[in-house]
Amino acid sequence: EAEVAQSPRYKITEKSQAVAFWCDPISGHATLYWYRQILGQGPELLVQFQDESVVDDSQLPKDRFSAERLKGVDSTLKIQPAELGDSAMYLCASSRDIRETQYFGPGTRLLVL
C-alpha cells in the first residue's frame, strides 16, 4: 500500500538554526498539505499545494517559514531561524485531488533547544 514518506523522522536543533523537512506524497497525488501539530492539540494546516502552486498559505508564518513544491511532486518545508515555540510534529498529507481523502505521513518531530 502506497504511503506518504517524510524525512527526517526526528530533528533536534538549536534556536536560530535553520531546519528543513522533506515530504514525498503518494504517487499521482496532486494535492499536498503541510500541518503542524503541537503536543496535545489537533493538526493545524500551514500550507496547501495543488501540483506546484500554493492554494492556501494563510496560516504559514512567512517571516520564518517557507515551503516549495517545485516540480509538483515532493515538497520541502523550511524554518529559518527556528524558535523554541516551533517544537512540534510536522505532518505532510496528500490526496489525489483537492476534494479527495487526505493521507498523512509519519511526521517529523522537531525539538528546538
Partner 1 sequence: GQQVMQIPQYQHVQEGEDFTTYCNSSTTLSNIQWYKQRPGGHPVFLIQLVKSGEVKKQKRLTFQFGEAKKNSSLHITATQTTDVGTYFCALNTGFQKLVFGTGTRLLVSP
Q: Where are the beta strands (DSSP E) in the chain?
A: 5-7, 10-13, 19-24, 31-37, 44-50, 53-56, 65-68, 75-79, 88-95, 103-104, 108-112
Minimum distance from CB of 105 to partner 1 (Å)? 6
As a whole number of angstroms, the distance between CA 85 and CA 55 comes to: 26
Minimum distance from CB of 35 to partner 1 (Å)? 8
Q: Total number of residues binding partner 1 (CB under 8 A)? A: 22
Residue selected from 42, 53, 63, 71 as contacting partner 1 according to rule CB under 8 A: 42
Minimum distance from CB of 80 to partner 1 (Å)? 25
Comparison of 9 and 15: residue with beta carbon closer to partner 1:
9
Minimum distance from CB of 28 to partner 1 (Å)? 16
* Residue pair 12/109 in contact by the 8 Å Cβ criterion: no
Q: Determine if 55 is a binding residue for partner 1 (CB under 8 A).
A: yes
| Angle, CA 36 vertex, CA 30 and CA 40 arms, to 5° | 135
As a whole number of angstroms, the distance between CA 103 and CA 73 comes to: 15
Q: Determine if 41 is a binding residue for partner 1 (CB under 8 A).
A: yes
Contact residues for partner 1 (CB under 8 A)?
Answer: 31, 40-45, 48, 55-56, 91, 95, 98-107
